[in-house]
Amino acid sequence: MAEILLSLTIIGVVAAITLPSLTGNINERTWNTQRKALYARMSQAISLMPALNGYGTLIEGTDSTSAQDTVAETFITSGLAKVLKINNICSDNLEDCGIVNSFTNMANVKIPTPTTLHDLNAFFSQATYGGASFSTLNTNAAAFETQNGESIIAYYNPSCTTEYISNETVSSTGNTFGFPQKTMCVNFIYDLNGNKGPNTVGKDIGIMTVFNATDSVVVAPVPSSTNYATYEGNNTIAWENAAKACSQEDSESRLPNIEELSAMLINQNIINLNNAPGDLVWSSTVFSAAPRQAWQVYVTRGVRDTENKSLTRGVRCVKR
């Protein structure tokens, strides 16, 4: 009997040690599968839509008139719902669509769920760089539930444009730059299992961003949990070594392209893009008009621009 009890005790200890890890691995594989399936469905749906701008009514209020804001809700009801199977749409009470009031971001800090475009990123309100500026009227977020059980909140820019990164503004220093907020039509924060836990970015919560009103690009970057990669002990890295820094971090990491990095800039508080080494972060995208330059984002200015590849910048990797 003593031997049996000892054996059971050992089995219990081993199970207590290994079960959380095993459960965590199963959850992560499930979330990865769900994430890829959601991205495929959303990409297909967006490709079937006409131009993504101009949905709904957005009028700023005055002393004598009330503000009108139906843009995000109309984008979902009159646009997305025609090409994607949606169970429920919420504008006033986002919680009715399974949206939580707060979640844990990639800095392991609990933050309130943004409910407007300006809450998502203040650079939609005002961004200035190289003598140019960008701003847009604030819009309220709307939410929906898919038939597959995901809860998704949408932040919509009805005035989004289509401007390819190779045709953006040239500054006085000769670098090309642009405001990714200008071409962002809609940004989604999705929760794969609704208001169930863990409500943590990188697990059941993620981001998806759509750029360009026509010929739209859909990206859903999953940033590495390591904040910034290093190469040979350095936290700012020349472009030619940036991809190496990601592959050395782990075999599942790579350098984001400029659309993915622009989405990360827009969601910087959610995926913790802040505190970049040197305030600048490389993308993998080469500038087609000047191959010795590559695209980067300037985190505290809210812009993307080009720079000589020999200079050193921060590197934030994404999962394959």
pTM: 0.90
Q: Compute the average pLDDT of residues 119-137.
A: 95
Are residues 155 and 269 in contact, defined by beta-carbon separation less than 8 angstroms?
A: no
41: number of Cβ within 10 Å: 17
Domain total in the chain: 2
Q: Domain boundary at 219, 252, 280, which?
A: 219
Here the tokens at position 132 are 């140019």
pLDDT at 6: 67
Do 206 and 254 sit in the same domain of this protein?
no
Is 1 domain-assigned? no
Q: How confident is the prediction for the chain on average, in pLDDT? A: 92
Are residues 282 and 313 in contact, defined by beta-carbon separation less than 8 angstroms?
A: yes
Do 242 and 208 sit in the same domain of this protein?
no
Do 71 and 152 sit in the same domain of this protein?
yes
Q: Domain boundary at 160, 189, 219, which?
A: 219
Do 270 and 210 sit in the same domain of this protein?
no
Query: Which residue range(s) make up the domain with 310?
Result: 237-319
pLDDT tens-digit readout, 176-234 = 999 999 999 999 999 999 989 999 999 999 999 999 999 999 999 999 988 999 999 99
Here the tokens at position 293 are 């330059």
pLDDT tens-digit readout, 263-274 = 999 999 999 999
Is 7 domain-assigned? no
Is 42 domain-assigned? yes
pLDDT at 298 over 80: yes
N-terminal to C-terminal alpha carbon distance within the chain: 52
Q: Of all helices (H) and strands (E), which one includes residue 237?
A: strand 237-238
Q: Compute the average pLDDT of residues 66-79.
A: 94
